[in-house]
Chain A
Amino acid sequence: MAGSNPNAKPMNLTLKVWRQPNRQAQGKIVEYQVKDISPDMSFLEMLDVLNEDLLHAGQDPVAFDHDCREGICGSCDLFINGRSHGPEKGTTTCQLHMRKFSDGDTITIEPWRANAFPVNKDLSVDRSAFDRIIQAGGYVSVNTGGAPDGNEIPVPKEIADRAFEAATCIGCGACVAACKNASAMLFVSAKVSQLALLPQGQVERKTRVENMVAQMDKEGFGACTNIGSCAAECPVGISLENIAILNREFLAAKAASNNLA
């Protein structure tokens, strides 16, 4: 059942999958065999095959997170063979294809690990800590009304490009998963610098960074030691420069904001 590539030979694989019935339970690695996997399948489609096999055998399928399967939503989140989103650079798990593996490989699949990301079940983790950080300041408050004309607020192209690059963060959490300190600073810095660069973000600029960092600390994420695993594993290539911007923004806000608390 090889796919569109006529030379692609189906593969047989051994999977070592983290199984954990619920949040409180102790989990463990369970070994499975999957057969006839097309190299053209995505990693998640390969897991679909495993789950079909498990259902046919009357067993509980493996829970894992996914939604768009197009690399844009940030839902998929597997730690594959010791790397966030697997071995391929700049790729989400849903966009990782089985041709990156070879017949007979053993693949270890684990959930994101971080104290702030509890495991719900098997490979599915709770990333609502990220939502709460965004709720703490990752937005701009605007009055609704007539839409302003395009180009009414001038933004230089270079600034727009940099803000857009930061805005590509899909909130997947690969940065936290890869980081030795389980630090969320790449994620937080992407949102802070995106909004700090744009005119719309100026109104809440100081309060935003103060509140987002406070929430990040409260959720129990670690502190960045500039290791760089995050940027290396980020599927959309958010750069470490954003963390420097975050630190600058934080210091400037702490020094000059009107918030005494």
Chain B
Amino acid sequence: MSWITKTFTSSIGRKIIMSLTGLFLCTFLVVHLIGNLQLFKHDGGAAFNTYSHFMGTNPIIRTIEWGLVLGFGFHIYEALMLTRRNKAARGSQGYVSNHSEQNSEWTSRNMGILGTIILIFLLVHLYNFFWRARFAGDLPRMGGADPLTRDYDNLYLAVVSSFHIWWYVLLYVAAQISLGYHLWHGFRSGFQTLGLNHRKYTPIIKYVGYAFAVVVSAGFASMPLYFFLFTNADGELAANAPALLQSVAAAF
């Protein structure tokens, strides 16, 4: 084995890959979240469709997309390898009595479970909005067709009708809660793994991480909840929606 493979198959080397990919995925979440905020624009989906069309066709974005595939791929692969190593290290005979809740946070001990829920969501999400919508030509069958305007490629409408399926909304929200907890621990953990621990910055990183986890997961979860609870099948705000929402929607 060369020194390079030795470095990246060692326990610390794998952790470094885990944290670099994890933090890279965090930057992806920011871009994805800001883009998706177009859904809230009160324009019948025009802004969102422009944005998604740009993301789906721009050659630079399409190239970066491969980086994203690699990022997820390595993150998940290393998660598997590290979990396997750690399970073996713990040994077959467990403790009869173990009170780890008295010495650590639940999220930090359950990154694998949280990640697996995110992965299941990711597969469903990609199947729908990446594969079916972009490649399989299934968009009209997902509700992405507007017979009035003869627009059969309307991703906004497909999103809105998906967000009226209760189990899809439930899966979406559950995954965002998992993502929130994953990031609650993961954000600061990623910095610690890279050796970036300093008494001046570590407390700041910790609270920025908490805020990041809440804002990102609540931001993503707000979309399916908004459409499911307050809009009709075209994404129009229902007449009986709370007055506050009515005035906010009118402003955008």
Contacts and interface: CB of A to CB of B under 8 A. Distances in A.
A246 interface: yes
Given A228-B103, A229-B103, A251-B16, A240 B97 contact: no
A224 B15 CA distance: 8
Interface in A187-241: 213-214, 216-217, 220-229, 232-233, 240-241
Nearest to B196: A244
B103 A182 contact: no
Nearest to B14: A223
A248 B195 CA distance: 5
Nearest to A117: B91
Interface residues of B, number: 44
A163 B140 CA distance: 66
Contact of B99 (A29, A82, A225): A82
B109 to A, nearest CB: 5
Interface stretch (A53-61, A107-115, A135-143): A107-115
Contact-residue bracket for chain A = 35 or more
Contact of A220 (B7, B89, B197): B89
Interface stretch (B35-43, B185-193, B224-232, B237-245): B185-193
B3 A226 contact: no
Contacts, number: 141
A113 B105 CA distance: 20
A110 B98 CA distance: 10
B90 A114 contact: yes
Nearest to B91: A115
B108 interface: yes
B10 interface: yes
A42 interface: no
A110 B2 CA distance: 42
Contacts of A18: 96
Nearest to B112: A225
Nearest to A80: B97
A244 B10 contact: no
Contacts of B100: 82, 178, 180, 229
A13 interface: no
A27 B199 CA distance: 45
B14 A115 contact: no
A226 B195 contact: no
Contacts of A108: 96-97
B12 interface: yes
A260 B95 contact: no
Interface string B81-116: 010011011110111111110111100110100000
A261 to B, nearest CB: 7
Given A82-B95, A251-B16, A233 B103 contact: yes
Contacts of A83: 99, 102-103
Interface in B96-141: 96-100, 102-105, 108-109, 111
Closest 3 CB pairs of A and B: A248-B195, A244-B197, A82-B99
Given A113-B93, A223-B15, A225-B189, 12 more contacts: A16-B96, A82-B95, A82-B97, A178-B100, A178-B103, A180-B104, A221-B89, A223-B14, A225-B111, A226-B185, A227-B105, A228-B108
